[in-house]
Structure formats: C-alpha cells, structure tokens
Amino acid sequence: MNIIEKIKHQIEKNPIIIYMKGSPKFPNCGFSAQAVKALSACGERFAYVDILLNHDIRTELPKYANWPTFPQLWIDGKLIGGCDIITEMYQKGELQKLIIETANKYRNLKENANKLNN
C-alpha cells in the first residue's frame, strides 16, 4: 500500500479523524491543541494521526487534500479544515452538530450490520 492509499484507507475507516502534531493528550503545537480541544468537547470518539511520527503522511497529505497546513479534520470522508475553521464551527455550534450526526450515522450503520449478521 502506498502512502496515498494509506491516507485514503485511514479516512475511509475513521468517520472522524484529525491529522495533528502530537496526540490529543499531548499536542505538540498550539493549533493542534486548540483544534483537539474543540473536537473533544463535542463528546464523541475520534481517530488521530500524529504527523510528527508519520513523515510520509506529513509530506503527502497536504498534496492529497490540497490543504497545506495541520491540523486537518476529516469528517465522513470530507476535509473540514484546520484550526481556524474547527474553532469557528465549534463557536457557532456547527461542529457539535456535525460530529454528533456523523457519530450517530456510523453507530446506526454498525448496529444494522450487526443485526444482519445475527
């Protein structure tokens, strides 16, 4: 799997994913800290990738996303944006709504799949 395929796979398999510097518990830049604070306040689980430990992703994701900076928040396969957009959406209540809707959508899909398999 090449790096672009790996990025696509991460985004497809994780309905809410943030590419950031550091981790949610130990962000390594102020922008990542601010973004993850807003995201965490929404109360749903999310995945993250520490781009400082993943040099290939750090190099290739900006080209793939056509977005030059980090953090990058992806929800339901779509790039939402970086710190400023995340913060603005949170302040307007838009981020919470989007996060909750997405989390519920994937919970329902998983529950329905489990019912079909039983």
Could you tell me the CATH number of the domain that includes residue 45? 3.40.30.10
Residues 35-69 as b/e (b if ≥16 CB within 10 A, e otherwise) read bbebbeebebebebbbbeebeebbebbbeebeeee
Residue 111: pLDDT band with limits 50, 70, 90: low
Task: Establish whether 42 is an annotated binding residue.
Answer: no
- pLDDT band of 11, cuts 50, 70, 90: very high
Q: Which residue has the tokens 């339901």?
A: 76
Domain count, the chain: 1
105 is in an annotated binding site: no
Does residue 78 have a known ligand-binding role?
no
pLDDT number for residue 50: 98
50 is in an annotated binding site: no
CA atoms of 31 and 52, how far apart (whole Å): 14
Identity of the residue numbered 112: N
Residue 45 assigned to a binding site:
no
The boundaries of the domain holding residue 92 are 3-117
Kind plus residue range of the DSSP H or E element containing 3 = helix 3-13
Q: Which two tokens stand for residue 45?
A: 């689980």
